[in-house]
Amino acid sequence: MALMEEESTVDIVIALQTAISQLNEVHTLGELLRSITGAYPIERSFILKLLLHSLPSLQCNSPLISQVESFLNSDNTNVEIVDIHTIFNEEVPKIIQHCTSLETEEKKSICDSIIESVNINAISYEFDDLQQPFESFFKSLVYRLNSEFRRFELTDELLNCIKDSKSSSLNLLNWIDGFYEPLKRLNSIIDTSYTLLDYEKLHSVDDNIQLMTAEIEKGYDNNIIREILIPYFAYIGPDAWESFNTWLMRFGLKISSEKDTNAAKYNVLRNLLDNDDLLRHLDKQASAVKVKFTKYILSTIFLSPDTNLEFFLASKEILVLLNSLKLEDGEPFDITSINTKSFQDVSRCFEASHAAISSLIGVIEVGEILYSNKLSLIDIVKLESSEKTIQKEQLIKYISTEIGYDTKYGKCQLFLSSINSTLRKTNVFNKISNEELNEVILQKMLEMKQFQIISQVFGKECTQLENEKFNNLVLKQCWALYNNASNCDPKIGSLRECVECLQLLDENLSKVKRLNALIKANERIFEWKFYFEPKVPITPKRVLQCNNPLLIIRRILELNDDAYLYAGDLYYLVVLLIDGFDVVEQSPLFKHKHKSFDDESNLLVYKIKLLCLEVASVLDYNYSFQTAFALVSNASLYKFEIEGLFDLVSENWFTFFQLSKNEYEGISDLKALNEKLKLLGQVLLIAPTEYNSNVLEQWQMLRSHKSQLIQSQELEIQSKLRHKNVNLSLGDVQSRLQKSLKSSADELLNTNGTEIGKSIVGWIVGAN
C-alpha cells in the first residue's frame, strides 16, 4: 500500500486493525467490510492482508468465505474518501477514539508499525499480490491457522467450503488436492509432525519426496501412493519425478548391496508399478523421466544378490507391470553384454525398451527353474558363457535337488520327460550335450539310490545314453555301494542297495556275474563266525581286499569248530569267491570251479578236504582218519588217471603225518596205534622221498610203543590171575584166556608189525 499522508487514512488503518482484531462474530466483519468498500486510498489487497494478520482465529470459519466473496465482488468504481465515523456509523468504539485522538506523528508511527507487521505477516504466510485475491487470501489463511494450531483438522471444514465456492480458481483447487490433502495425509503417518508452511518453505520438493518414499519403503500403507504420491506429483510436476527417480536410484543401490533382502523391498516396487494411476501419470511425463525410471527398475532387479524363489516371482511380476509403460520396442537386447556391477554403469547399459524388459524376464525365468541352485541373476547370465565344468556342476546341483523333492513315479516321469526341453530353453547349459545331460541325471539318480525310478522311467525318457555308458555308470555305483557296506548281510544297509542297483543291469554280463558272485559269497560268509582281526567286524570291502579264496576258507575253519563237516558248503563258497575276486587264473586249482563237488577229478574239492583235515585232525578222530585214508587212497589209486591229484596230496603229506602224532581222548590206545601205523604205511607211498626217513622213524616208534602196550597188557592179566583165589574151573578159563590173548597178540604182531615192517623197508630200499 502506498504511504498515506492524510490523517484520515491513518485513522482508518488504525481503526480497521483494532476493529478486526476484536471481532466477536463473523457477520460483524461483513458490515465492516461493506463500510470500507471503495474506501480511498486503501487497497483491497491491504484489507485482505489486514484480515490475514488480525482476524481472530475463532472467526476464521466457513461463514468468512461469503464475507470475503462479497467484499471482493462489490462495486469498486465509485471511489470516495471515508472516515472512521462512516465506518462505525457514528458509534466509534472508545478504544479507537483514544487511538485516533493521539498526536499525528504518534498515530503515523502506529500506522506504520501496523503496515509493516501486516506485510511481514503476509510474506511469512505466502500471500501473493499477483495471484487472485480470493486464492491468495485463503491459502495464506490456511497456512496461518495450521501454523498456530499445528492441526490440519481445523482447516478441513474451511477448505471443503472453499472448494464449493464459485470464487475458487483451478489453481486453488489444485493446491488443495495436490498439496494440502497429500501433506495432511503424510503428516498423519510420519513420526515427526510438520506444519503446512514447513512443507512449503523449509522442505524442498526432494525433502517431501523423501518423507513420502520413507513411508512407502515401510510397506505398512499401500494407499500412500494413491492418496499422497500421485496427487503431489500432479501438483508439483516434473521436479517431483526427478526427485522420485533420485530416490529410486538410491533404493536400487540399497537393494543391490544387501544379501537376502527382505521381500518387502520388492513389494515396494511391485506396489508402485501396480498402481495404474501412477503409470498413467508417468506415461505423460517427458521421455527422459520414463527412461530413468525404467532403467533404475531394471538395474535394481538385475543387480540384486537375492537367489530365492520369492525374489524371482516378485521381480517377474514387477517387470510385467513395467512392460505396460509406453516404451520403445527396441532391438533384441543381449543381456550378457553387461559385464559391470556398478549401478550407474548397469543403468547406462540397459535400454528403456520392451526388448530389454523381455530379456531380463527371460533371465528371471531361468532363475525360477534353477532357484534351488541359489544363483543370482548376474550368476545366471555369467553361467551361459562359463566353462563346461562350471555348467556341469550347476546342472548336477539342479538335478540333485529336483529329483530329491519328489520320487513318485508320475512326478519323476514328468521331470525326466521335460528336462531336455526345459534346460535347452534356458540356454545356460549350452556346452553340455544331451548325452552328457542324461549321464548327469543317471549319476544323480544313482547317488540318490532311486533305483526303482531308474528302472521304470529313465530308460523310457532318457534315450540319449549308450548302453555301455549306462552299464559302466551303474556298475560304478554298485561297487561304491559294495565298498561302503558295513556288514556282509545283503538284506540290509548298503549291500542291500548294491543288490537293488545291480538289478538294473543284464545279469548275463560278466561284470554283473562277478559282483553277484561276490555278494552271494558275502552272504555265505555272514553265516559263519568270521573276522581277520579280533574286535574288527568284517566288511565286504575287507573281503574283497583279501583276494584269496582259500585264505578265507582256512579262516572259517579256524574260527568255527564244526566247519570241516560242511566241505560242500565251503566248496560252493570258494567257487563264489573265485568268481567274485576274478582270480581263476591265479591257481590251476581254481580252473576246476566249474566241476561238481562229487566229481572225482575235482582237485579244488580235494584242496578243500585237505584244509578241513588240517583243522579236524585235533578235533575229530573218526572224521580225520576216514578222510585221510580216502585222500591218500585216491591219490595212489588215480595217480595216473587224475592229473595233479597225486602231487596235491603229496604236497600235504605232513597233514597226514601229523595225525600219527596226535593223541585222542576216548579212543583205545591199541586201536589208535593200529590206525596210525596203517596210515603211515600209506603215507610212505605218497610222501616226497626226502621225508621217507621221518615217516619211517615215526612208524618204528609207534610199532615199538604198540609192542610195549601189548606186553604191558599181558603182564597185567597175569598179575590179576596170580592174586585171585579162584576155583579150578575158573583156572581153566584163565588158562584158556591167556593162551587166546597170546595167540592173538602174536598173530597181530606178525601180521601188522613184522610183515608191514618188511614191506616198508623193502619199498624204501627199492625206491632208493
Query: Lowest mean pLDDT: which of 13-17, 51-55, 560-564, 728-732?
Result: 728-732
Asked if residue 632 has pLDDT above 90, the reply is yes
Taking only the tens place, the pLDDT of each residue in 185-198 is 999 999 888 999 99
| pLDDT, position 210 | 94
Taking alpha carbons only, the member of 602, 615, 533 closest to residue 566 is: 615
Q: Which band of pLDDT confidence, cut at 50, 70 and 90, is reported for residue 340?
A: confident
Q: Assign residue 477 a region (left: φ > 0; alpha: ψ between -120 and 50; beta: otherwise).
A: alpha
What's residue 747's pLDDT? 40
pLDDT at position 744 is: 36
How far lies 33's CA from each of 261, 403, 442, 611, in Å?
A: 63, 88, 96, 136
- The reported pTM is 0.70
Comparing C-alpha atoms, which of 349, 262, 258, 336 is closest to residue 298?
349
Is the predicted pLDDT of residue 741 greater than 70, yes or no? no
Give the pLDDT confidence score for residue 753 in this predicted structure.
41
Pairwise CA distance, residues 65 & 282, whole Å: 37
Q: What is the pLDDT of residues 79-98, one digit of tens each?
A: 555 667 766 665 777 877 78
DSSP string over 68-124: HHHHHHS--SS-B---HHHHTTT---HHHHHHHTS-HHHHHHHHHHHHHHHHHHHHH
For residue 16, pLDDT over 80 is answered with yes
% pLDDT > 90, the chain: 53
Contact criterion met (CB below 8 Å) for 465 and 438: yes
Split at pLDDT 50, 70, 90, the class of 742 is very low
Split at pLDDT 50, 70, 90, the class of 760 is very low
pLDDT, one tens digit per residue, over 640-686 is 999 999 999 999 999 999 988 888 877 778 888 899 999 999 999 99
Question: How high is the mean pLDDT of the chain?
Answer: 86
CA atoms of 180 and 185, how far apart (whole Å):
9
Span 593-628, pLDDT tens digits:
999 999 999 999 999 999 999 999 988 999 999 999
| pLDDT above 60: residue 223 | yes
Q: Residue 192 region, left (φ>0) first, then alpha (ψ -120 to 50), else beta?
A: beta
Model confidence at 480, pLDDT cuts 50, 70, 90, reads very high
Amino acid 89: pLDDT: 62
Cell 601188522 belongs to 752
Is 299 strand, coil or helix?
A: helix
Give the whole-angstrom CA distance, residue 747 versus residue 471. Answer: 75
- Does residue 727 register a pLDDT over 60? no
pLDDT per residue as tens digits for the range 105-122: 888 898 999 999 999 999
* pLDDT tens-place string over residues 685-724: 999 999 999 989 999 998 988 888 888 887 878 777 776 6
Given this model, what pLDDT does residue 768 score?
30
Between residues 303 and 426, which one has the greater pLDDT?
A: 303
- Interval 232-285: pLDDT, tens: 999 999 999 999 999 999 999 988 887 665 677 888 899 899 989 999 999 999
Calpha distance 49→65 (Å, rounded): 15
Preceding amide of 41 cis, omega within 30: yes
CA 143 to chain centre: 58
Decide if pLDDT at 573 tops 90.
Answer: yes
What is the per-residue pLDDT across 361-408, written as a single tens digit (0 to 9) for each? Answer: 999 999 998 888 999 999 999 998 899 999 999 988 888 887 766 666
Burial status of residue 490 (CB atoms within 10 A of its CB: 0-12, 13-18, 19 or more): buried
Q: pLDDT class for 3, splitting at 50, 70, 90?
A: very low
The three grid cell numbers given for residue 202, joined into one nine-digit string? 523449509
Distance separating alpha carbons of residues 697 and 186, to the nearest angstrom: 121
Residue 36 has pLDDT above 90, yes or no: no
How confident is the model at residue 385, as a pLDDT? 87
Q: Which residue has the higher pLDDT, 736 or 655?
A: 655
The pLDDT, as a whole number, for residue 396 is 87
pLDDT top residue among 719 and 568? 568
CA distance 137 to 189: 29
Q: How high is the pLDDT of residue 83?
A: 67
Cα gap 187→345, rounded to integer Å: 37
* SS3 assignment, position 596: coil
Average pLDDT over residues 291-312: 93
pLDDT of residue 405: 61
Average pLDDT over residues 217-230: 87
* Mutual angle of helices 756-767 and 669-686, in 10-degree steps: 20
Phi and psi, residue 328, nearest 5°: -70, 150
Per residue in 155-186, pLDDT (tens digit) is: 898 999 999 898 899 999 999 999 999 999 99
Give the whole-angstrom CA distance, residue 695 versus residue 300: 99
Percent of the chain with pLDDT over 70: 89
pLDDT for the residue numbered 495: 97
Q: Are 604 and 632 in contact (CB under 8 A)?
A: no
Spatial distance between the Cα atoms of 7 and 104, rounded to a whole number of angstroms: 7
Instruction: Examine the pLDDT at 222 and tell me if it is beyond 80.
Output: no
Asked if the model's pLDDT at residue 134 lies above 80, the reply is: yes
Mean of the pLDDT values across residues 349-354?
93
Q: Which is more confidently placed, 426 or 502? A: 502
**Predicted pLDDT at 130:** 74
Selection from 465, 425, 424 nearest residue 441 by Cα: 465
Does pLDDT of 752 surpass 60?
no
